[in-house]
Structure 1
Amino acid sequence: MPSAPTPHAVSPCDLRTVFRTAAADYGFLQVFFTTPRKFDLGRNRFNLTADAPTAYPRANSIAVLVYPYAPFTADERIPAYYIASNRAYHSAKKLAEALTTAGIHVEKTDIPVKMQLEAEGIGIKCRNSLIALPEFGTRIVLLTFAVREIPPETLSELLTVLPSLNTRQSECGNCSLCMKACPTGAISENGLTTERCMRLQMETAQHPDSVRAMQKTFIGCEICQYACPRNAKIPPADTESFRAANGAEINLNDVFNLKRLITGDAAQARSLVGRNFTGNGKLTAEAIAFAANDSELFLSLRNEIFAAADSPFDAVRDAVRYAAAVEKKRGSRF
């Protein structure tokens, strides 16, 4: 019985097929093999790898992995991106193991992936700084691997494999929906002003009161993505019968129930979105703010909210202060 061919005996085209087939098994429905590049990142606030050729000298290409996801409806507060991001992260680890077994050596990287795609002419950079792809809009998680055995693809090669990737898709043009929707005015015709972006202001557990008053989803803001017409045809995910990564069917409305989170029962929610995003009482503090912003919710959860004043977390205690201030201001209007 002949042995399986080694990577050196297989054409790059065949190795790409092996890679893409394995990636699809883990939810990465598109893969782009791109050229390792060096970028000027300025402040580099996310500590990304700016010089991929130096950091990964044995890499022939950078594989950009596309993990699409379905959003939830805008009134459900559930952070679709962060649930998908956490799942994609763990799927990428399993994919790396599978590729290694197949003889393809990969290493997870943290390069500026949006700049990488722009340089390759793939996708459209939207005004909100996100990359949109024709089939998935901006509802995608992007991860990258440095790949040893597979060279970059030319754009014509890529379009042969993925004909739906229409690189001539129009820019945002006269569309201003995300600009009008952004509550902080962070988006303009010239792009995103990161310092004003609410998602970035929600990175830690402690939020300014102005953000608490405007927040629509847990963990980060998705308002501009709900407004973007590129996402309009994506069917929303079902919150009541959501399939977790382990295959279990769960009700996300129960997991992100405000009373449950306000009383500190956040373990299941944290496991879904990633513990690194949700430390220091973040979900509890945000749940308190959601309740404070709705007079009926506040009245029904008042005891639980003020009981949280004894929390060991500064952000939670400050959210209780915010709730009291909102209710006092609301009461003064009657």
Structure 2
Amino acid sequence: MNRYELIQSEWDGESTLRLVDREAQATAEVIPAVGLHLFRFDVRGEAYIAKPAGVAELREKSSRYGVPILFPPGRVKQAAFTFEGREYRLPKNREPDHAHGELREKPWKVVASGADAAGGAYVSAEFDLAEHPDMLAYYPHAACFRFTYRLKDGTLSLSGEIANRSGSTMPLSLGFHPYFAYASGEASRVKVAIPAAAEWPLSADGYAAGEPAPSALTAALREGAVLTELPNYPGGSQLLSMEPGPQTCELRYEARGTKLVFEMGEKFPIHVLFTAPWTDAVSLEPYTSIMNVFNEPYAPALSGAQGLAAGETFAFTWSIRITDLA
């Protein structure tokens, strides 16, 4: 029997692709029709991704489960911003603002999939804005997103490219919102460790309210903080600037005797730590920038504001693996 397998499956009538690594006892599952959502990652019988009750709930609340793809991440105040002298007006999908983009709920096109000893089990999918005139109307850049989920040697990775095929520089702000699950009653025995350099002060409505600075929270997160001791738990949200270079975060499941290691690469200098009040999950969210970035006054070196020039490509990789606690 082969170690890796790609299984075409179904969930509530929608096609899914299941990636299997038998030796690692790991299974991941994605649903291309709903934002290329990763909605399952199980290792040795334990669930590490929070899953909704069904596809209908995922469609209705696509930012609340699994691993939503956020473009842009967070909210855009009044659903509008200006970039390089051009005004962008986005759909007000969370009145009066825009929240988390539409890639998380639109169908993606599978362009490659398979399983073999060299590459593990994988699925590649694309979302081409040129094929979506409704989105081009408010974001006039023919950008093509090509993302690949791969399960190999027990590690689940996502590698992606965003190619700007338009004739002008496009505003770029990308993030992910993984909901890492824990069992009911397990939160007091889960620790989160993040290499956070500074914490952003937030306004009452959750936007950046000043430049970031080291804090008691960032010091605690570098050592490992218990989930139930995080500020404003449950439902707390913290905006953090990360240490320079490749980032590694950890969730230490003391009751399970395991550790989730989240290697985020170096393309995501901003991090949001969020504890979900509607499900047993905590989110460690890598962002290329703070939310509402193109409306904020902060220097790009702090905020992550950036553009992608015509003809250029933005590439990234992040990965998740489960190991035993030492």
User: Normalising by the residue count of structure 2, what TM-score does the alignment of the two structures yield?
Assistant: 0.28
Instruction: Flag the structure with higher strand content.
Output: 2
Instruction: Flag the structure with higher helix content.
Output: 1
